[in-house]
Structure 1
Amino acid sequence: MKKDATFKWDNKEFVDFYRNSANIIMLERQRLIRVLLEIVTFHFPNLSGLNILDLGCGDGVITKYIYDKSPDNNFYLIDASEEMLTKAKENLGNDNIFYRHITFEDYCEIQSEDCKYDLVISANAIHHLDLIQKAALFSKIYKELKFGGLFLNIDPVHPSSAYSENIQFEIWRNWMNETLENNGHHEDIGKYDNLPSVYKNNLENKPSNLWDQMQLLNNYGFRDVDCFYKYSIFAIFGGTKN
């Protein structure tokens, strides 16, 4: 995602809104994170001594889950938002954690560090790239993964048809309202009903079909490519380098 003068992810008010509402507006967010962590701990039973790259790290929430479980790793966090990186530093500190302010586009242009990372993770970030840009990023990830490494991506994906989109957006709306009700925010029920339409019409969002992205991973050499969990438009998918 290229930055401009109105880059909302450097706006403190917007970032605070997103962080405070993420568990409502991102369907099954905590379950998706839990699934990611289960896959990581299955693939790396010892979960120590690893080089871990978090692409589009945001406030560092997923890295923090891994760090709290096993701090004996090196964590590399990149994000295009200075405001988000500031939040990540507040949450994580600097012990074995390295931060870089860079866009995905610029990251893809720099020289690859072949076979550097054991684990590459990303959450709610790569959908800001079009399919061609995703292909460039997936290729770079594959090059920078060590053999035996793992890539996992949590992201919204594009429905396969208008019919499917209508169903999945309705599931999304219902889930947000149920979450508000279950957390006692009855007065806010319906508050986010237009969010799926806002998301769809936002030109920053460029979700791609899940199967197209999985095919890209296969084409670049990833193995064990799969979708490990999906609910409405939100999915977790990835693969290994063997």
Structure 2
Amino acid sequence: MDVTEAFDAVAGSYDEARRRLVPCFDAFYGTAVEVAAPPLRAALAAGRTPEVLDLGAGTGLLSLLLAAAVPGVRLTLVDAAPAMLTVAADHLRSRGVAHRTVRADLAGELPAGRYDAVVSALAIHHLDDAGKRELYRRVPAALAPGGVFVNAEQVAGPTPALDRRYHEVWLGQVAALGSDADEIAAAEGRMAYDRPAPVAAQCRWLAEAGLVDVDCFFKQWRFAVFGGRRG
């Protein structure tokens, strides 16, 4: 089973476990929305439809939150897992949100367009470091002037000892929130496909790619929100 098949297999139940498996769910996703929202609102104020590209969109969780925060956005969701995209499209269609879905992996070219925000949540860590850096090099060209890139991500610790500590803390937190042994084992099975990198390195790669105002806007153990802006 590859990473696409692993996520397609849980598409129907994926969202139900999010608040247990992402212990800082509200702050994590809320910060991503806060960072992405200003250029979307600026587009609305200028009389045009804000365009959002969601990379590794999965079931559309981040896209749905952005659409709720900034009504009137138009979303392009990219994911390699067709069952996940089907769930996302059903959610967005039921809420009347303008969208399109593109089945593709993150190693390919980005969908054509100029986007006010390029966002991602818990997806880019499936690329190796070279793949991450190559994706980050492509992001600025996809952004409209002043547009933002926001990555709500699972990151590695800066040292092996801290990385082990991140995992220990996560295990304790998800158990306290009600994840049972089967749910934790299934999550760890999907995590076998992960290739996380430290947040400091990823911020450096974004700056090297040409983004400005690069920062880590939120971090709680292995969960971080970071990004930058096209000048």
**Fold shared per TM-score above 0.5:** yes
Partner of 1:207: 196
Instruction: Quote the offset at 1:46 in angstroms.
Output: 4.6
Structure 2 CA distance for aligned equivalents of residues 119 and 222 of structure 1? 13
Q: 143-152 or 59-68: which moved more?
A: 59-68
CA contact (8 A) 1:47 1:70 kept: no
Partner of 2:98: 96
Partner of 1:185: none
Structure 2 CA distance for aligned equivalents of residues 159 and 102 of structure 1? 29
Q: 1:238 corresponds to which letter in structure 2?
A: G
Identity over aligned pairs, percent: 25
Partner of 1:107: 109
What are the ranges of 5 or more consecutive residues in structure 2 without an aligned counterpart? Answer: none
- Corresponding residue SS for 1:138: helix
Pairs within 5 Å for 1:107-146: 107=109, 113=112, 116-146=114-144
Instruction: Quote the offset at 1:29 in angstroms.
Output: 2.0
> TM-score when scaled to structure 1?
0.83
Partner of 1:21: 17
Aligned residues: 225
Distance 1:6 1:39, change over 3 A: closer
Say what the alpha-carbon RMSD is for the aligned residues. 2.5
Structure 2 CA distance for aligned equivalents of residues 206 and 189 of structure 1? 25
> TM-score when scaled to structure 2?
0.87
- Corresponding residue SS for 1:21: helix
Q: 1:122 corresponds to which letter in structure 2?
A: S
Pairs within 5 Å for 1:1-242: 7-11=5-9, 14-46=10-42, 48=44, 49-93=49-93, 95-107=97-109, 113=112, 116-180=114-178, 198=189, 202=192, 204-242=193-231
Q: Name which one, 1 or 2, has greater alpha-carbon Rg.
A: 1
